Structures are given as structure tokens and as C-alpha cells.
Amino acid sequence: MSTVFITDGDRPLGTALRESFTNAGFDVAVHPANGDAKSLAAAISSAGPVELLINNAEPEFDRLAFEEIDENIFVNMMTGVARTAFFAVQAVHPIMQTLGGGKIINVSSSAPVCGMTGGAHFTAAKGSLYSFTRSWANELATDNIRVNLVAADVTTGTAAEDGGGETPLGRPVTIEDVVETITYLAGSGGDMISGQEIIVDGGFTRVGF
């Protein structure tokens, strides 16, 4: 039985991913998105054969004017998203090497692409994932590890949300929409896709930008 490892597995998207992969017959392990490298390494090494890592840090945050974001808020956001993802990948890499390959999916947002007033901390943190995705896709390809990004514009403040949740496709994006996209990349359809980003936004990002 292979394992799916999900960071931030208790918030809405994490919960939905956990249920979906459990129903599909995987063992699922979760860990909080707290940037704790040692605890992540311990959890991942005892999680079984992790063939899919989902870096799903989905932090709640307040929309704040740039001047109102204090250093702690900024650093906590970077730690939760970037540091958690980085050290989860570092820990899962040797396991996937042993398994002959694996997949990593980084869950981000459209904010680093479109910008976001009042979200400098969130946008910076989620922006790191775009470049991590490209870098790891390159560096880990020889180990048959595929790394992609899915931007989930559902629960966090995003371009689509700023548009009142309306999308050009006529209905809001749901958690299930995002789970389906991740499931596709996790399946054989995603076997030859690496270093790419898919923004699940109902077409919103392409309107007016």
C-alpha cells in the first residue's frame, strides 16, 4: 500500500484530499504546516512508502495593508508555507529515490501571478512555491520525481475571491474541483508532466489581466 503525505491536512482542502485519497485506497498521513524540519522528517520517514507528497499549507490570514504586516506575521507565513514545503521535500526525496520515483504537488494560489492588495505576506509565501516547483522538477527529474503546482482559488483570498467568487465559467470553484485536478496529476495522466502550474480558477485569471 502506498502512502500519500499531506501537510496541513485538517483545513478544508486538506480534509477533502485526505478523504479522497483514503477512499481511493491509499494510506494517508498528515502533518501540520509548521515549518518544523525535524518533526516533518520524523513523520515522513515513519509514514510508509510515500509516493505522493502534497504541500498543502493553506494558512488563514488577515488582509492587511503592507505597513500593518509585522515581522512576526510575515515570518510565520513564510515558515508555514515555504519552510514546511522545503523540508517536507527534503525528507521525502530519499524515500522516493528508493521507490524509483514519486510525485510532489505544491498547492498555491493565483495571487503570486495576479497580485493581491492586502496580501503581501501570503503572496510572497505562495510565490516561493512557483519557483520551488520549477527548481525541484529540474533537480529531481533524474530520480523520476515529478513536481507540479496546483493553484487552488477556493478558500483563501485570491483573485477569484476578490471578484466576488464569480468566475467566467459561471459558478464558483469548489474544493472538489481542486481535488479532481490534484487527483489527475497524481494519476497516470500526470506521469509525463513536471515543472508545470495549473490555476483552478474557473477562467478568472485570464479575465482583465
Partner 1 sequence: MSDLKGQVALITGAGGTLGSSHARAIAARGAHVVIHDIIADAADAVVDDVVRLGGSASPMVCDVTDRQAVKSCVDAVTAEHGAVFILNNNAGITGNNALIKDIDEDFFDRMFDIHVKGAFLVTQEIVDGMKAAGGGRIVNTISGCAHSGAVSGSHYNGAKGAIVGLTRALASEFTPFGITVNAIAPGVTPSGMTRVRLGEEGLAARAKQLVSDRLPTPEEITTGVMFFLAEEAAIVTGRVLNMQQPRKAEVI
Binding site for partner 1 (CB under 8 A): 37, 65-67, 69, 71, 74-75, 78, 82-83, 86-87, 89-90, 93-94, 111-120, 122-140, 195
- Residue in the structure block whose three cell numbers are 498521513: 29
The 3-state DSSP class for residue 30 equals strand
User: Smallest distance, Å, CB 112 to partner 1?
Assistant: 4
Residue 147 C-alpha cell reads as: 513536481
User: Smallest distance, Å, CB 178 to partner 1?
Assistant: 20
Nearer to partner 1, 52 or 82 (CB): 82
Nearer to partner 1, 120 or 154 (CB): 120
d(CA 200, CA 204): 9
H or E segment at 93? helix 84-99
User: Smallest distance, Å, CB 83 to partner 1?
Assistant: 7
User: Smallest distance, Å, CB 193 to partner 1?
Assistant: 14
User: Smallest distance, Å, CB 176 to partner 1?
Assistant: 27
Nearer to partner 1, 118 or 165 (CB): 118
Q: Which long-range contacts (CB under 8 A, 24 or more apart) does 42-48 make?
A: 43/5, 44/5, 44/88, 44/91, 44/92, 44/95, 45/91, 45/95, 47/3, 47/5, 48/1, 48/2, 48/3
Nearer to partner 1, 124 or 175 (CB): 124
d(CA 158, CA 146): 26
Nearer to partner 1, 94 or 189 (CB): 94
Among 182, 2, 194, 195, which Cα is nearest to 92's? 2
